[in-house]
């Protein structure tokens, strides 16, 4: 690594050295970082400019769109569409992929993003974030929606920004996970958290326990064992955190370990999970795996899930490797009927719980 402060650009020159698309991938990540700086500036204004309220409509998922959702979405598009580096983009805020302007050269990448994750928390001044995923565009023609439907393992880069007390950018290009802090005076992202490693063991879990009655038995079993603490089979006390802003919950897991769960539940049987595969689960799964953690639906490695649609939802369990492996084992034991009689047979056989991830 070069001497002095390592800025994002310097870091990318070193990380991507020798890669044939070094300049292009670095260029796109720098464009994304520029968008993130602009979104950071907008979120930091708080209510001062009156732009933090409800935008007056719903997005494609029927969720209330906040003014900042729309602004962040526009900023991502504007910063990334002109560089000749993307062939198309897809955003949580758009039903269909976003084309690039007709007079701009098509680039080799597809960019998928959630412009402002956790935006329902903005009014409470809770940390929010941006999540992004970079895929290779598989051919030279204009992309079709099907071109975006690549499993997370094929991502060439992924990451997130967190707009907290400090703005941080955490990313991976498949060579570890690295964190940068925005130096606001200078306007640079500076490498402050090289090679983040998630501890393999942890005594902290994050889940919205108000949904407990809707969870599948393996998740109920895991959380019940954590809550039993030192007097239960885990033999130690666990702590719980839930910020309800995925990026903030994930950032804590990266910084000190833990397991984050938004599992399958039957609150709304039509949805196999709350979080979206392509611009929430897959990019975060790559970041977590590259930091030594694990990421699963409970029944399948998240990075192996092949998307069937752009806005597909998926169960998400990720973080400290040994805890995630335990939860995956509980799912397997439940599915093949070898788990302890933790729940009554009547409960076990409910068909809703038998659906596959």
**Smallest distance from ligand AFP to CB 123, Å:** 11
**Smallest distance from ligand AFP to CB 268, Å:** 11
Residue among 119 and 167 whose Cβ is closer to ligand AFP: 119
Residue among 77 and 127 whose Cβ is closer to ligand AFP: 127
- Of these, 44, 47, 244, 332, which contacts ligand AFP (CB under 6 A)? 244
Q: What are the tokens at 124?
A: 């409470």
**Smallest distance from ligand AFP to CB 244, Å:** 4
Question: Residues in contact with ligand AFP, total (CB under 6 A)?
Answer: 13
CA angle 269, 272, 278 (to 5 degrees): 150
**Smallest distance from ligand AFP to CB 35, Å:** 17
3-state secondary structure 239-308: EECCCCCHHHHHHHHHHHCCEEEECCECCCCCCCCCEEHHHHHHHHHHHHHHCCCEEECCCCEHHHCCCC
The percent helix, strand, coil of the chain (3-state, each to 5) is 35, 25, 40
Query: Would you give the binding string for ligand AFP spanning residues 287-316, x where CB under 6 A is met?
Result: ------------------------------
Question: Is position 119 an interface residue for ligand AFP (rule: CB under 6 A)?
Answer: yes
Query: Would you give the binding string for ligand AFP spanning residues 257-276, x where CB under 6 A is met?
Result: -----x-----------xx-
Answer yes or no: are the C-beta atoms of 245 and 129 closer than 8 Å.
yes
Residue among 26 and 253 whose Cβ is closer to ligand AFP: 253
What strands, in cross-sheet order, belong to the sheet with 178-183? Answer: 86-91, 109-117, 128-136, 157-163, 167-172, 178-183, 188-193
**Smallest distance from ligand AFP to CB 232, Å:** 25
CB neighbours (10 Å) of residue 4?
A: 7
CB neighbours (10 Å) of residue 357?
A: 18
For ligand AFP, the binding residues in 55-114 under the rule CB under 6 A are 63
Stretch that binds ligand AFP, among 93-101, 189-197, 216-224, 238-246 (CB under 6 A): 238-246
CB neighbours (10 Å) of residue 98?
A: 17
- Of these, 28, 171, 246, 284, which contacts ligand AFP (CB under 6 A)? 246
- Of these, 108, 118, 293, 315, which contacts ligand AFP (CB under 6 A)? 118
Please, what is the angle between helix 282-290 and helix 246-256, to 10°? 10
- The DSSP symbol for 317 reads E
Residue among 171 and 316 whose Cβ is closer to ligand AFP: 316
**Smallest distance from ligand AFP to CB 209, Å:** 10
242 — phi, psi (to 5°)? Answer: -150, 110
Q: Which residues bind ligand AFP (CB under 6 A)?
A: 63, 117-121, 208, 244-246, 262, 274-275
């Amino acid at each position: 690594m070069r001497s002095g402060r390592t800025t994002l650009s310097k870091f990318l020159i070193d990380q991507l050295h020798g890669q044939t698309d070094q300049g292009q991938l670095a260029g796109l990540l720098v464009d994304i970082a520029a968008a993130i700086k602009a979104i950071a500036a907008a979120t930091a204004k708080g209510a001062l400019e009156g732009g933090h309220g409800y935008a007056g409509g719903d997005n494609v998922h029927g969720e209330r769109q906040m003014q900042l959702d729309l602004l962040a979405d526009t900023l991502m598009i504007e910063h990334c569409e002109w560089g000749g580096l993307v062939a198309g983009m897809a955003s949580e805020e758009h039903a269909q992929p976003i084309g690039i302007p007709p007079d701009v050269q098509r680039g080799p990448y597809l960019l998928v993003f959630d412009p402002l994750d956790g935006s329902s928390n903005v009014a409470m001044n809770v940390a929010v974030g941006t999540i992004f995923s970079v895929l290779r565009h598989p051919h030279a023609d204009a992309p079709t929606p099907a071109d975006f439907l690549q499993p997370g393992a094929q991502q060439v880069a992924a990451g997130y920004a967190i707009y907290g007390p400090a703005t941080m950018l955490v990313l991976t290009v498949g060579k570890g996970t690295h964190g940068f802090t925005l130096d606001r005076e200078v306007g640079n992202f500076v490498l402050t958290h090289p090679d983040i490693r998630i501890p393999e063991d942890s005594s902290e879990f994050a889940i919205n326990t108000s949904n407990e009655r809707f969870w599948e038995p393996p998740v109920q079993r895991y959380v019940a064992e954590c809550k039993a603490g030192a007097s239960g089979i885990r033999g130690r006390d666990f702590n719980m955190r839930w910020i309800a802003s995925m990026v903030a919950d994930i950032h804590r897991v990266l910084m000190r370990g833990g397991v984050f769960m938004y599992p399958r539940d039957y609150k709304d049987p039509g949805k196999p999970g709350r979080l979206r595969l392509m611009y929430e689960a897959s990019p975060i799964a790559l970041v977590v795996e590259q930091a030594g953690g694990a990421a699963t639906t409970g029944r399948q490695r998240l990075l192996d899930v092949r998307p069937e649609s752009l806005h597909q939802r998926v169960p998400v369990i990720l973080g400290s490797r040994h805890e995630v492996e335990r939860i995956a084992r509980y799912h397997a034991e439940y599915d093949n009927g070898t788990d302890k009689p933790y729940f009554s047979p009547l409960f076990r056989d409910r068909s809703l719980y038998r659906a596959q991830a």
